[in-house]
Amino acid sequence: EAGVAQSPRYKIIEKRQSVAFWCNPISGHATLYWYQQILGQGPKLLIQFQNNGVVDDSQLPKDRFSAERLKGVDSTLKIQPAKLEDSAVYLCASSSKKQGNIGDTQYFGPGTRLTVL
């Protein structure tokens, strides 16, 4: 089975520019997550989708970050405008239980490394 796909793998932008990341979860996985991992730290959840609905976006900086999951499959995460502190790896993950049951294993993509200059 194909894993979680993400693109691009690397992105370099200047501050105040916009950027978008794309994620294609494992086929049939109802739950999709976006995490931000700053160098030297563990990943931090930004947003969780169940099908195409948002379950948890409490840690998403909504003044500059947005995410959508049209049709409950692919997802995009956008930053507009970017700040220096947004430099990080953005990880997408998906899990299989349709109800997003507690404890289901998450499968991670390779991530997008963003550098903001």
Partner 1 sequence: SQQGEEDPQALSIQEGENATMNCSYKTSINNLQWYRQNSGRGLVHLILIRSNEREKHSGRLRVTLDTSKKSSSLLITASRAADTASYFCATVDTGRRALTFGSGTRLQVQP
Q: Which parts of this chain interact with partner 1 (CB under 8 A)?
A: 4, 31, 33, 40-45, 48, 55-56, 59, 91, 93, 100-103, 105-111, 113
Shortest distance (Å) from residue 86 CB to partner 1: 18
Q: Whole-number minimum distance, CB 53 to partner 1, in Å?
A: 13
Taking the C-alpha atoms of residue 112 and residue 89, their distance in angstroms, rounded to an integer, is 5
Smaller CB separation from partner 1, 81 or 107: 107
Nearest to 22 by CA among 83, 84, 67, 52: 67
Closest distance of CB 82 from partner 1, Å: 21
Q: How far is CA 8 from CA 37, 96, 110, 116, in A?
A: 16, 24, 10, 15
